[in-house]
């Protein structure tokens, strides 16, 4: 480990010990009193990585009255930069929240983390600690992400930790944004994917159950996200089932965009869009209850065939079409939709509107099978919780489509019975439906 005394104040140092935490030091006095970046240790590693900053040590001045030698547990410039003025500034801030992000070195996270740190998601008075979960293979990239976060000088970002053990990373977290999952490889059956990713989410569920805040909110993004969310929830019996979400907000956003395009209006005029069901090609973008300028969509877009066929299929397969263009899965729009999904839970839903999220079906008023995670329309008071919307209408078309997605999720559930504590898995999927990205 680099000795603190010999380390230039302009260095940012990541040091990994054989035990708990390492401080991450900032070179900027104006920045570092705001933040403390902490790195979780990989037990097996003993190396030190120093990251040089462009500011040289002789340009740095310690705030007056702070004696670096007084704080034995820290080293370098971080010890010099505690500043009482900053404490004054931050008195109006809320209590810091702890947010974990898995797959933190991936493309989606690369967009999301900077939005989280900027205050765009939880608000400009909400300090945040980011706990980044990656894999052993991605650890170098995780360090790179942490460096970029530091270099971004976000005042609200008080702490960053990185690690590969969910039991460490999820300690006391209030939000878990579970993005990391394996993509379906060539020749891999959907059942294989359910099993491989299911195991990841079973383990993460157990870790959440053991160490996270008792009211942690969990947003599952890694596919197949509905069933992964169910697995995660079943492995975390001490956390309310209501707190688990599967991300279908991207599908809602896609549906809004298509309706706006067809109607020739800006997309902020489209409201009350529900995505029902699974984040797969059986998902049902509901045009029956959707509104444009407050008017039911079927009265604005008088082309039922387009709504039932083109619109529905465009939304269901949008992810796949995008992959063909990009050569990779949606990342920026997924990150934006995660932001939307969280904001919908932490801010009151506008009067008369709702949002879609995949949630546990027990007690739902729509007659959808219990004990699955299904995307449905919700409203929130802005307290992180939600209630299902009751005033929605159904017709035969909508019912039939919803049933198909429900059947798919019930079949997926049987495939992962070994991961939900419900016995032996019997995997007999009715047809090999796709994730949106697999088309």
Active-site residues: which are they? 279
For position 229 contacting ligand LMR by CB under 6 A, the verdict is: no
Q: Closer to ligand LMR at the Cβ: 77 or 250?
A: 250
Query: Dihedral, CA atoms, 289, 293, 299, 305, nearest 10 degrees?
Result: -70
**What is the closest distance, in whole angstroms, from the C-beta atom of residue 320 to ligand LMR in the complex?**
7
Q: Closer to ligand LMR at the Cβ: 249 or 404?
A: 249
Q: Closer to ligand LMR at the Cβ: 302 or 324?
A: 324
For position 436 contacting ligand LMR by CB under 6 A, the verdict is: yes
Pure H helices in 301-390: 304-305, 312-326, 332-346
Bond into 224 cis (ω within 30): yes
Considering only the stretches 347-355, 383-391, 418-426, 430-438, report the one whose residues sit in contact with ligand LMR under the rule CB under 6 A: 430-438
Cβ count near 225 (within 10 Å): 28
**What is the closest distance, in whole angstroms, from the C-beta atom of residue 328 to ligand LMR in the complex?**
9
| Residue 57 vs residues 36, 37, 77, 114, 400: alpha-carbon distances, Å | 19, 20, 9, 28, 68
For position 243 contacting ligand LMR by CB under 6 A, the verdict is: no
Pure H helices in 67-223: 77-80, 84-89, 107-118, 139-151, 166-169, 190-211
**What is the closest distance, in whole angstroms, from the C-beta atom of residue 302 to ligand LMR in the complex?**
29
**φ and ψ at 340, to 5 degrees?**
-60, -45
Considering only the stretches 28-36, 86-94, 336-344, 429-437, report the one whose residues sit in contact with ligand LMR under the rule CB under 6 A: 429-437
Q: Closer to ligand LMR at the Cβ: 98 or 329?
A: 329
Considering only the stretches 37-45, 119-127, 409-417, 431-439, report the one whose residues sit in contact with ligand LMR under the rule CB under 6 A: 431-439
> By Cβ distance, which residue is nearest to ligand LMR?
437
Residue pair 158/34 in contact by the 8 Å Cβ criterion: yes
Cβ-based neighbours of 402, under 8 Å, separated by 6 or more? 276, 277, 284, 366, 368, 394
List 127, 155, 163, 319, residue binding ligand LMR (CB under 6 A):
319
Residues that bind ligand LMR in the complex, under the rule CB under 6 A:
223, 250, 319, 329-330, 435-438
């Amino acid at each position: 480990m680099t000795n603190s005394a010999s380390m230039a104040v302009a260095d940012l140092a990541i040091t990994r010990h054989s035990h708990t935490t390492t401080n991450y030091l900032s070179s900027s006095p104006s920045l570092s009193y705001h933040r403390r970046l902490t790195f979780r240790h990989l037990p097996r590693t003993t190396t030190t990585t120093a990251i040089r900053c462009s500011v040289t040590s002789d340009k740095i001045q310690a705030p007056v009255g702070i004696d670096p030698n007084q704080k034995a547990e820290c080293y370098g410039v971080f010890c010099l930069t505690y500043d009482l003025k900053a404490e004054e500034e931050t008195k109006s801030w809320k209590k810091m929240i702890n947010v974990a992000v898995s797959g933190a070195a991936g493309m989606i996270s690369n967009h999301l983390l900077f939005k989280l740190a900027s205050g765009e998601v939880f608000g400009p008075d909400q300090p945040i600690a980011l706990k980044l979960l990656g894999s052993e293979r991605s650890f170098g990239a995780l360090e790179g992400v942490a460096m970029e976060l530091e270099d971004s000088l976000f005042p609200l970002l008080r702490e960053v930790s990185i690690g590969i053990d969910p039991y460490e990373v999820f300690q006391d977290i209030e939000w878990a944004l579970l993005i990391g999952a394996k993509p379906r490889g060539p020749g891999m059956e959907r059942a294989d994917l359910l099993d491989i990713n299911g195991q990841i989410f079973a383990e993460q569920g157990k870790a959440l159950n053991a160490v996270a805040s008792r009211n942690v909110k969990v947003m599952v993004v890694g596919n197949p996200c509905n069933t992964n969310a169910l697995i995660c929830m079943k492995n975390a019996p001490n956390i309310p089932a209501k707190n688990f979400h599967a991300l279908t907000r991207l599908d809602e956003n896609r549906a809004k965009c298509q309706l706006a395009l067809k109607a020739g209006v800006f997309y902020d005029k489209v409201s009350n869009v529900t995505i029902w069901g699974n984040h797969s090609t059986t998902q049902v973008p509901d045009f029956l209850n959707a509104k444009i300028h407050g008017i039911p969509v079927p009265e604005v877009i008088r082309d039922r065939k387009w709504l039932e066929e083109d619109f529905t299929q465009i939304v269901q397969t949008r992810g796949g079409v995008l992959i063909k263009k990009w050569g990779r899965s949606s990342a920026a729009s997924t990150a934006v939709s995660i932001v939307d999904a969280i904001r919908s839970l932490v801010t009151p839903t506008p009067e008369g509107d709702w949002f879609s999220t995949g949630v546990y079906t027990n007690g739902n008023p729509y007659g959808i099978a219990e004990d699955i995670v299904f995307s449905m329309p919700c409203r929130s008071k802005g307290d992180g919780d939600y209630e299902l919307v009751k005033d929605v209408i159904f017709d035969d078309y909508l019912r039939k489509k919803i049933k198909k997605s429900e059947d798919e999720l019930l079949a997926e559930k049987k495939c992962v019975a070994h991961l939900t504590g419900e016995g032996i898995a019997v995997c007999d999927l009715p047809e090999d439906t796709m994730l949106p990205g697999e088309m």
